[in-house]
């Protein structure tokens, strides 16, 4: 993990995430961003999938669909084994099939994706302390900013994201806005997802992303932590 800069200004801004342009720090390459425009996201996704669906075998589609139904078994297994295959031959086979599918697919352009998550992405100590009721604990937020802004996080499992800022993220205490660069191993899987309508872009396992900015944002009468980051490839 990168070291945190010594001179770090703590940024706590209450703002509307839907009106705030993406902040991507030093990584200023342009990227497609649908934000809350689900109609455009759906149109793009349909076109994207139509060009790649023939590259995927039926077995690969089936295992991706199974993963989208419940990602926990495979992701927990990968995290327990530091992102590598373990001793479970059945899970290993499923992972190899999904890996092979994702290796076939390269993003044709850079894109902004979203993910709703919890304080645990920064460590177990923040899972219960980040939120004070429906508002972010400001002292905990400052600690997270100081410790993690400008660093890199590694996700050992697959990373499920959405190309649109959809309703499923509203209730989560952390909103991750992630820039995925062109040529990344990522596949738009919504048409074969067990839960279509989430506009899911599935990103390969062992993904490392750099945290460019962390801030507190308004969310109606509550607040949440917004993390802006970019994928490192």
CATH of the domain at 45: 3.90.176.10
CA dihedral 219, 201, 194, 192 (to 10 degrees): 150
Q: Is 29 within a domain?
A: no
CA 10, CA 56: separation in Å to the nearest integer?
45
Active site residue 84: no
**Total domain count, the chain:** 1
* pLDDT confidence of residue 2: 32
What phi, psi does 27 have (nearest 5°)?
A: -90, 80
6 assigned to some structural domain? no
pLDDT score, position 228: 98
Each residue's pLDDT, cut to its tens digit, for the chain (233 residues) gives 232 222 223 333 333 444 444 433 445 678 999 999 999 999 999 998 987 888 999 999 999 999 999 999 999 999 999 999 999 999 999 999 999 999 999 999 999 999 999 999 999 999 999 999 999 999 999 999 999 999 999 999 999 999 999 876 677 999 999 999 999 999 999 999 999 999 999 999 999 999 999 999 997 889 999 999 999 98
Domain-embedded: residue 33: no
Take residue 123 and report the two structure tokens written for it. Answer: 């460590």
Quote the domain boundaries for residue 72.
38-232
The Cα–Cα gap between 113 and 101 comes to 20
24 is a domain residue: no
The residue annotated as part of the active site, out of 60, 149, 155, 200, is 200
Closest CA to 66 of 169, 189, 212: 189
Q: Is 115 a catalytic residue?
A: yes
The predicted pLDDT at position 5 comes to 29
- Buried-state track 199-217, b at ≥16 Cβ within 10 A, e below 16: bbbbbbbebebbbbbbbbb
Q: Find the catalytic residue in 60, 110, 115, 215.
A: 115
Compute, in degrees rounded to 10, the torsion defined by CA atoms 205, 211, 216, 220.
-40
Nearest alpha carbon to residue 123 among 157, 99, 147, 158: 147
Question: What is the model's pTM?
Answer: 0.85
SS3 sequence of 21-72: CCCCCCCCCCCECCCCCHHHHHHHHHHHHHHHHHHCCHHHHHHHHHHHHCCH
3-class secondary-structure state, position 204: coil
Question: Is 31 inside a domain boundary?
Answer: no
Other C-beta atoms lying within 10 Å of the C-beta of residue 141: 21
Token duo for residue 23: 């902040």
218 domain residue, yes or no: yes
Coarse DSSP helix, strand, coil percentages of the chain, rounded to the nearest 5 percent: 35, 25, 40
Which residue out of 110, 160, 162, 193 is catalytically annotated? 160
Q: Would 193 be classed as within a structural domain?
A: yes
205 neighbors 99 (Cβ within 8 angstroms):
yes
- Asked if residue 172 belongs to a domain, the reply is yes
């Amino acid at each position: 993990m990168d070291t945190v800069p010594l001179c770090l200004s703590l940024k706590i801004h209450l703002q509307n995430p839907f009106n705030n342009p993406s902040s991507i720090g030093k990584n200023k390459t342009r990227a497609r961003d649908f934000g809350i425009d689900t109609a455009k996201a759906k149109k793009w996704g349909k076109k994207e999938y139509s060009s790649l669906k023939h590259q995927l075998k039926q077995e690969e589609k089936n295992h991706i669909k199974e993963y989208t139904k419940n990602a926990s078994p495979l992701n927990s297994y990968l995290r327990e084994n530091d992102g590598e295959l373990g001793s479970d031959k059945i899970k290993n086979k499923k992972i190899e099939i999904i890996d092979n599918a994702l290796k076939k697919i390269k993003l044709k352009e850079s894109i902004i994706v979203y993910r709703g998550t919890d304080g645990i992405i920064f460590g177990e100590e923040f899972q219960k302390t980040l939120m004070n009721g429906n508002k972010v604990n400001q002292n905990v937020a400052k600690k997270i900013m100081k410790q993690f802004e400008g660093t890199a996080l590694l996700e050992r499992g697959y990373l499920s994201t959405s190309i649109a800022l959809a309703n499923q993220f509203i209730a989560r205490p952390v909103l991750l806005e992630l820039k995925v660069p062109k040529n990344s191993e990522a596949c738009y899987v919504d048409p074969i997802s067990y839960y279509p309508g989430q506009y899911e872009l599935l990103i390969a396992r062992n993904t490392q992303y750099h945290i460019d900015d962390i801030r507190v944002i308004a969310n109606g009468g509550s607040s949440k932590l917004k993390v802006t980051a970019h994928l490192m490839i």
